[in-house]
């Protein structure tokens, strides 16, 4: 599995449905955010959008045609219906080997069976593989894309709170899960963190807390306030990362990202985090929260990706769906050249 900053052929997203459960009472504010994602990403790559049906395709087409800054020739719509819009978790994981692009089709159960039905979401990877004419591999276990992050050189980051939760793969222990990750993603080494952040209904996806920004460099979120419930888990993860080694036994450079102030809606704490950024070919999409720490987070990520525009987008409505830009996107790498 290539690293996210390696060249993309496209980014895949799934258009949110008004009747979905992700944005109760707030759906009308959501399509403009998806349009903004498409606008920014289409400046540097194709964008493939899953839509529900013919009527949904007409609605989304009309929105795109009225958005003058979207590179319309780079946007394709596909009638691949989904239950919810979180393509990072239900979408295909693309892998490369010896000149071939292929798809890994993990099982999907809506983060431990929390939000049925999820049959449409579970079918997305194989439908994409069929559409693109790609070989698909079926590991036969449950896994979400947001639960893992790779450096493209053989190391993978994940969390114990998510992968070892019995609501996914109750018969598999740590060693068995590592075997599947190595077998299907081509990694050689797994770095395990502990818990995720408060408000995260995924049981602690790593893409809300800790991310690779280079093969040897990691950014990880920290909470400075000792009274905040995120302080201790994030400090524990920081300590683990400082002791961790890569696939060749070398230490990582570990950078810290601030956490925004507590974000709530209707009395519910939301998983607001700057770590849920997405790295496109030309742009890095970073969630912002009208918070004093926004500028600092953008500056840190700007130094990590100096050749890309780093764009902060107000995500206070987006995070009501318990996700942000990384959760909504899935990269398709440029196919590798076949060996001579």
Secondary structure letter of residue 265 according to DSSP: E
Dist CA 251 CA 207 (whole Å): 21
Does the pLDDT at position 32 exceed 80? Answer: yes
Residue 5: predicted pLDDT = 98
Query: Quick check: 165 and 174 in contact, CB under 8 A?
Result: no
- Which one is predicted more confidently, 258 or 337? 258
Tens digits of per-residue pLDDT, 129-147?
999 999 999 999 999 999 9
Is the pTM above the cut of 0.95? yes
CA distances from 221 to 116, 207, 212, 253 (A): 31, 10, 12, 14
Asked if residue 12 has pLDDT above 70, the reply is yes
pLDDT score for 340: 66
pLDDT band at 337 (very low <50, low <70, confident <90, very high): confident
Strands (E) in the chain, as ranges, are 8-14, 46-51, 75-79, 93-97, 100-104, 135-137, 149-150, 155-159, 189-193, 210-214, 217-222, 253-258, 264-265, 268-269, 278-279, 283-288, 309-314, 330-333
Is residue 327 among the annotated active site residues? yes
pLDDT in the model for residue 110:
98
Model pLDDT for residues 180-198, shown as the tens digit of each residue: 999 999 999 999 999 999 9
- Are 212 and 153 in contact by the 8 Å Cβ rule? The answer is no
DSSP 20-46: SSSSTTTGGGSHHHHHHHHHHHTTTSE
Residue 125 — pLDDT band, cuts 50, 70, 90?
very high
Q: Of 87, 162, 304, 327, which is the active-site residue?
A: 327
pLDDT band at 98 (very low <50, low <70, confident <90, very high): confident
Could you tell me the two tokens for 131? Answer: 């559409």
Q: Is the pLDDT of residue 114 over 90?
A: yes
Q: Round to the nearest angstrom and report the end-to-end CA distance of the chain.
A: 22
Q: How many CB atoms lie within 10 A of CB 113?
A: 11
Domains in the chain and their CATH numbers? 8-333 (3.75.10.10)
């Amino acid at each position: 599995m290539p690293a996210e900053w390696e060249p993309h052929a496209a980014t895949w997203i799934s258009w949110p449905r008004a009747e979905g459960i992700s944005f109760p009472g707030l759906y009308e504010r959501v399509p403009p955010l998806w349009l903004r994602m498409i606008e920014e990403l289409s400046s540097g790559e194709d964008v493939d959008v899953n839509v529900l049906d013919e009527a949904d395709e007409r609605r989304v087409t009309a929105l795109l045609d009225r958005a003058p800054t979207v590179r319309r020739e780079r946007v394709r719509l596909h009638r691949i219906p989904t239950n919810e819009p979180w393509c990072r978790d239900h979408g295909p994981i693309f892998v490369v080997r010896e000149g071939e692009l292929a798809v890994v089709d993990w099982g999907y159960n809506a983060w431990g069976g929390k939000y049925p039905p999820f049959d449409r979401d579970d079918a997305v990877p194989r439908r994409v593989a069929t559409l693109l004419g790609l070989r698909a591999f079926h590991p036969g276990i449950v896994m979400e894309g947001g639960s893992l992050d790779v450096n493209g050189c053989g190391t993978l980051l994940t969390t114990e709170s998510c992968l070892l939760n019995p609501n996914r793969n109750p018969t598999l222990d740590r060693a068995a899960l590592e075997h599947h990750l190595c077998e299907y993603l081509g990694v050689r080494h797994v770095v395990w963190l502990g818990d995720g952040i408060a408000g995260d209904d995924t049981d602690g996806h790593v893409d809300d807390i800790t991310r690779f920004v280079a093969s040897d460099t990691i950014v990880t979120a920290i909470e400075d306030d000792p009274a905040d419930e995120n302080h201790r888990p994030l400090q524990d993860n920081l300590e683990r990362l400082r002791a961790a080694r890569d696939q060749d036994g070398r230490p990582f450079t570990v950078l810290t990202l601030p956490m925004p102030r507590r974000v709530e809606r209707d009395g519910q704490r939301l998983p607001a985090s700057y770590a849920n950024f997405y790295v496109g070919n030309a742009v890095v999409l970073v969630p912002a929260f009208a918070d004093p720490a926004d500028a600092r987070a953008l500056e840190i990520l700007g130094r990590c990706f100096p050749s890309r525009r780093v764009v902060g987008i107000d995500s206070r409505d987006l995070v009501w769906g318990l996700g942000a830009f990384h959760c909504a996107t899935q990269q398709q790498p440029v196919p590798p050249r076949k060996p001579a």
